Structure 1
Amino acid sequence: MVPSASFQTLRRSSPVRSDISAQAIAVGVLAAFVGFASSFAVVLKGLTAIGATPAEAASGLMALSIGMVIGCIGLSLWTRMPISAAWSTPGAALLAATPAIEGGFAAAVGAFLVAGGLIVIAGLWRPLGRAVASIPASLANAMLAGVLLNLCLAPVKAVQQNPAFGLAIVGTWLAVAQWKRLWAVPAAALVTLALIVASAKIAPGAFDQIWPTPVLVTPQFTLPALIGIALPLFIVTMASQNIPGVAVLAVHGYRPDPGRLFWSTGLLTVLVAPFGGHAMNLAAITAALCANPDAHPDPKRRYWATIASGVTYLPLALAAGAATAFVAATPPILIEAVAGLALLGSFGSALLGAVTEVKDREAAVVTFLVTASGLSFFGIGGAFWGLVAGGGVLALIRWRAARSTP
């Protein structure tokens, strides 16, 4: 463990240039490619599910990638720690499970802005940050598991609907995972691309406009979108990304001020939202790549790995148009299958976290089932109602336990 004081001293006195290492740069480039390739399909699926046009989805993907450029480079240089910014993959999965809302994508963008504002407030105003942290982990995990369930079933459905392609994708993922798990989903995505190209399913002109163009969306603020998107997006992003992101850094000996990191990612969300980006947060998986000894034996020099990641995200941002065209030209079930494979680890972790605490298990199961059911009342999706139902059951169980205690 490396005490935070040493980083503060480094930040004041050590020259930046002397910290550069080829090892850190190589790990950072790898982390960026893995992070982008393994989850961009989830992001596009989420944006299109709530009404984004292909141009708006490409703009959102580009804006999020540029947000990662700014976040990775800016936060790492500011703190001299390997702090990675990322788009919210669980948040994108939440959008994919959200039914159509009144106001369409403009209302969703308004919800993105509100979610970003809430993240800023959580970083600046400690009572809100503590309130989010006080949400029982079992319920937060159950809600996330319910959101992810349908996407994680997509590989099975792909095998049923298109056995040849589905088995090739799942088989590639399984085979590569036995060798190098980080490469499993990118390999499955490459096989999917090869299968689509080989089967000549791409319509003429699908890739005529591969360069993304920023699309500024005028936000609308509707109550169903604020309750059904903004609030669950805020909770999912904080509970499943920002808080674990800080924990990953702590495991590797880094002790940044969490509040500063939270409001920084909130500002990034507010910055990218008008262009279609749903949420920015601290990374967990890519942060673990850049913060471990593989990036550099000296913990004080690992921050160059996240800087390298940030630089790598810039050309990937310019590939957003091509990525969107590829997804549009692909049978939806195949893209959903790749997205589902990318989310299996998150689903397993969320499911385990939901049922680990025995006294909260019943409430967590209710949260999971209501969220996964896809029900919608007043235009508000199941994620919110799942949290409400589970919270009600948990409150009743605790009240009953308190009444029975002498």
Structure 2
Amino acid sequence: MGLPDEYQEHNAPSQSRKWNGLFRDLNSQNISAGLVSSVLVMTGPAIIILQAAASGGFTDQQTINWMFAVYFFGGIFSIIMPLLYRIPITGGHSITGVAFLATVTTQFTYPQLIGGYVMSGVIILLVGLSGFFTKIIKWVPKEVISAMLGGLVTGYVVQIVPAVKEMPMVGAAAVLSFLLCTKYIKKVPPVVIAIAAAFVVLFLTENLAFATEQLAFSWPSLQTPEFTGMGLITLALPLAMLILSNDAAPGIGALESSDFKPPIRKIVSTSGAFSILAGFFGGQCSNIAGMMTAICSGPDAGPRAKRYMGSVVSGIVTVLFGVFAWKIVPFIQSLPGAFVSLVAGFSLITVLHSSLQKGFSENRYRLSALAAFIVTLSNVSFFHISAPVWGLIVGAVLARTIER
């Protein structure tokens, strides 16, 4: 009986050191990055989900299932992956996937939608296991990846200007606090001060119309899928391609742009596995999130070795949002669209600056990086393949041919 006691005594300190190490890695910078990241996915995307559910005639139970699945499992993904690999792999769900579903929910029955979600997750899982996605990313120079990321976030950052025009007092408070913090306060990320100031002025100056109707709570439950050939071709394949191109590619690109070495095959295959799980609970996917990963892996997230804790913080907040979405949604619905754009823009300023610097600071691949930036910025898609992926393809081809 002595051996187990000795074993426990020997191992207890190591477990304690392990947890203490995690807490020591927390700092104001990665905590703020995690909070900003979670705010990004909890505002606009949540509203789009509600709109898509309404257009599809979903019941309250089905809507709660959808909200729970994408945020709960996306948050769990965001906790497990960074703790396993100690890099800021941030989970969530595909914003473009939700936008796509908003146009097709009326074309399928609810069980057929569930079947499409599950098949999409299987496709992503197979792509990850095959290693095909890894080969594509490895073929692209880092300068091109950084320029693609810059083109992707530019559209969000530019929205600060019309948002300030639409909400001048809120916008002015955010801009001034951001600039003053940048110059005088070094320990707190400027974006946190800017967003906090924007929230304070918003509540003081705007009459927010809180939704009076709340979703009635009910326990999330497993859904029964219906698999059809039409669902595979017109729902599962486009959804999988959107997730791979709009989330996996930018997310992995953001990690590589910040000099991390992401386990690409495992990230993509795990995204597929979590998406299958989310699908059975009524959600379209749970995967690595491109913009959220960019925020948690960027310079504002603090020392590079500790940035993974930003993803963990984001995951915890996202899980809580999934559990309590039925209660929080009315508040999210009350936020003006310009305010959501303002928050998104400020959260990505540093990511944009870092991406442009890494994409264009060297003489090599300048034409390739510029092409990737312009194509991505165009936001034009062909064959359900988004502009960021076309930007990577064009930039990589130019780099391997013209500028080789």
What TM-score do the two structures reach when normalised by structure 1? 0.66
Q: Which residue does the alignment assign to 1:10?
A: none
Q: Which runs of 5+ in 2 are unaligned?
A: 1-9, 55-59
Identical positions, percent:
19
Of 255, 267, 270, which aligns to 2:273?
Answer: 267
Q: Which residue does the alignment assign to 1:279?
A: 287
Q: Which runs of 5+ in 1 are unaligned?
A: 1-12, 296-301
The alpha-carbon deviation at position 17 of structure 1 amounts to 3.7
Give the 5 Å matches for 1:7-22.
14-15=11-12, 17-19=15-17, 21=19
Contact 1:119–1:266 under 8 Å retained in 2: yes
The alignment status of 1:185 with 2:213, answered yes or no, reads: no
Read off the aligned partner of 1:368 and give its amino acid letter. Answer: F
The alpha-carbon deviation at position 317 of structure 1 amounts to 3.7
Q: Which residue does the alignment assign to 2:104?
A: 103
Q: Distance in 1 between matches of 2:251 and 2:69?
A: 19
Which deviates more, 101-110 or 114-123?
101-110
The alpha-carbon deviation at position 203 of structure 1 amounts to 1.8
Q: Distance in 2 between matches of 1:399 and 1:249?
A: 25
The alpha-carbon deviation at position 338 of structure 1 amounts to 0.7
Q: Distance in 1 between matches of 2:82 and 2:316?
A: 12
The alpha-carbon deviation at position 153 of structure 1 amounts to 0.8
Give the 5 Å matches for 1:66-215.
66-67=72-73, 69-71=75-77, 74-75=80-81, 79=84, 82=86, 85-87=89-91, 92=95, 102-103=103-104, 116-117=121-122, 119-178=124-183, 179-180=185-186, 183-206=189-212, 208-209=214-215
Q: Distance in 1 between matches of 2:338 and 2:276?
A: 32
Q: What per-residue deviation string (whole Å, max 9, x for no partner) do you get for residues 18-37 of structure 1?
A: 33555733755964564133
Give the 5 Å matches for 1:330-345.
330-345=335-350
Q: Which residue does the alignment assign to 2:23?
A: 25
Contact 1:63–1:272 under 8 Å retained in 2: yes
Give the 5 Å matches for 1:383-398.
383=388, 385-387=390-392, 390=394, 395=397
Read off the aligned partner of 1:143 and give its amino acid letter. Answer: M
Read off the aligned partner of 2:369 and give its amino acid letter. Answer: A
Which deviates more, 368-377 or 26-35?
26-35
Contact 1:109–1:217 under 8 Å retained in 2: yes
Read off the aligned partner of 1:86 and give its amino acid letter. Answer: T
Q: Number of matched residues?
A: 370
Give the 5 Å matches for 1:237-248.
237-242=247-252, 245=255
Q: Distance in 1 between matches of 2:213 and 2:102?
A: 30
SS at match of 2:335: coil
Distance 1:70 1:164, change over 3 A: closer
Contact 1:355–1:364 under 8 Å retained in 2: yes
Q: Distance in 2 between matches of 1:35 and 1:110?
A: 32
Q: Which residue does the alignment assign to 1:52?
A: 52
Which deviates more, 240-249 or 116-125?
240-249
The alpha-carbon deviation at position 339 of structure 1 amounts to 0.5
The alpha-carbon deviation at position 342 of structure 1 amounts to 0.7
The alpha-carbon deviation at position 321 of structure 1 amounts to 4.7
SS at match of 2:90: strand
The alpha-carbon deviation at position 311 of structure 1 amounts to 5.5
Contact 1:69–1:310 under 8 Å retained in 2: yes
The alpha-carbon deviation at position 350 of structure 1 amounts to 3.0
Q: CA RMSD in A?
A: 5.0
Contact 1:224–1:380 under 8 Å retained in 2: no
Q: Distance in 1 between matches of 2:284 and 2:168?
A: 35
